[in-house]
Amino acid sequence: MILLSRSTGDAGLGERLARALAPRLTQAALDRAEAALSAEAVRAGIVLEREAAGDRRRLGSTDPAAVARETGTLSAEARPWLAPALALLRRRG
């Protein structure tokens, strides 16, 4: 017995799947990154403020002590937590 199969319409299937899945995968990646960054901030004793506008998210702190800790001052060395936390996110990707 010889069986033959023919498929039509699959030329753009990958592109259609990517368009359908990309927003959900992007949203999930942003959620995971935000959770990981927030967890690192909590470990460092910093409270992050979250701002969302459409698809954009901003995490940050306006606490002067948190900013001074990240960047340092004339009288104190910087004890950054953000750069190491971002490095962890890059390795997870």
Q: pLDDT tens-digit profile of 28-53?
A: 888 888 888 888 888 888 888 889 88
**pLDDT tens sequence across 47-68:** 888 898 877 888 888 888 888 8
CA distance 93 to 76: 33
Q: Which of 69, 57, 60, 71 is nearest to 27 (CA)?
A: 57
pTM above 0.75, yes or no: no
